[in-house]
């Protein structure tokens, strides 16, 4: 107890007060929209997981953005068509999930263009991109612009946008920790309300959370609880594209 008091005393007062004020603002002004996204990849069991996710989203009238690999689209064209027909957004997660920092500019363009073409071949227009491991390069951002992409969604809300393309940020847990699947599911398991508060982007009040389909299936009932909980709070699940309109 003694120790806690002394640590608190060391925190500069203005900093401490503004922190309290920010959280007070979040609590009295909850977000009305959630951007849910899935990085959908080949050879990890995402096909089965996506089918289950579709059922859950259907039950609560929720839409999401699926960042898909080109190879996944080639292997599962019917699944992509179903997603699109249900109002979900299909966006690009490169063709074969290479680290963009480790390949040439020509190869980066190939990774982006083949993925785009695989999706467009199905008659689906595409505006969004997320880099593998969220490692976006300056070259790739330029290539995205040249290929008429509207936005990138690789960055977390703690990072400034140094790229030439519009950014749709992913929320961090409590504005500190880049929220990966397991951290999010851990928070979710602990307390839904706290999880919700913790994911609010303090800049634009949007909550934007992203998952990997096969990992979310480890905690399938938790995922449905999450969607149901937000649904009861009258929170709308919208796609990335829609959030920019």
Would you tell me which residues interact with Zn ion (CB under 5 A)? 39, 132
- Is the Cβ of residue 40 or residue 171 nearer to Zn ion in the bound state? 40
Residue 67 tokens read as 């960042």
CB of 131 to Zn ion, least distance (A): 8
Please say whether the beta carbons of 179 and 39 come within 8 A.
no
Please say whether the beta carbons of 243 and 205 come within 8 A.
no
Could you write out the DSSP letters of every residue in 120-174? HTTT----EE--GGG---HHHHHHHHHTT--EE---BTTS---SSSEE-PBPEET
CB of 152 to Zn ion, least distance (A): 14
CB of 188 to Zn ion, least distance (A): 21
- Is the Cβ of residue 50 or residue 235 nearer to Zn ion in the bound state? 50
- Is the Cβ of residue 37 or residue 239 nearer to Zn ion in the bound state? 37
Please provide the size of the chain in residues.
245
CB of 194 to Zn ion, least distance (A): 27
CB of 64 to Zn ion, least distance (A): 16
Closest CB to Zn ion: residue number = 39
Around Cβ 8, how many Cβ atoms within 10 Å?
A: 9
- Is the Cβ of residue 31 or residue 132 nearer to Zn ion in the bound state? 132
Residues near 160 by beta carbon (within 8 Å), at least 6 away in sequence:
none
- Is the Cβ of residue 24 or residue 133 nearer to Zn ion in the bound state? 133
CA 98 to chain centre: 19
Question: Dihedral sign, CA of 189, 191, 192, 197?
Answer: negative
């Amino acid at each position: 107890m003694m120790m806690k008091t002394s640590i608190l005393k060391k925190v500069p007062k203005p900093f401490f007060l503004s922190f309290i004020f920010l959280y007070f603002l979040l609590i009295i002004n909850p977000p009305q929209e959630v951007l849910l996204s899935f990085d959908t990849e080949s050879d990890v069991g995402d096909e089965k997981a996506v089918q289950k996710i579709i059922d859950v989203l259907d039950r609560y009238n929720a839409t999401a953005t699926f960042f898909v690999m080109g190879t996944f689209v080639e292997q599962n064209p019917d699944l992509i068509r179903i997603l699109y027909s249900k109002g979900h957004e299909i966006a690009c997660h490169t063709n074969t999930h290479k680290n963009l920092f480790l390949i040439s500019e020509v190869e980066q363009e190939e990774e982006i263009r083949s993925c785009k073409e695989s999706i467009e071949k199905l008659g689906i227009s595409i505006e969004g991109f997320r880099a593998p491991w969220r490692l976006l390069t300056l070259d790739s951002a330029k290539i995205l612009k040249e290929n008429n992409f509207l936005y990138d969604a690789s960055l977390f809300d703690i990072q400034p946008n140094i790229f030439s393309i519009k950014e749709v940020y992913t929320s961090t847990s409590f504005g500190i920790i880049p929220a990966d699947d397991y951290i999010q599911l851990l928070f979710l398991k602990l307390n839904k309300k706290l999880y919700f508060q913790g994911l609010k982007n303090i800049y634009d009040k949007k909550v934007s959370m992203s998952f990997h389909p096969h990992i979310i299936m480890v905690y399938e009932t938790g995922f449905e609880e999450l969607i149901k909980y937000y649904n009861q709070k009258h929170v709308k699940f919208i796609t990335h594209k829609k959030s920019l309109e």
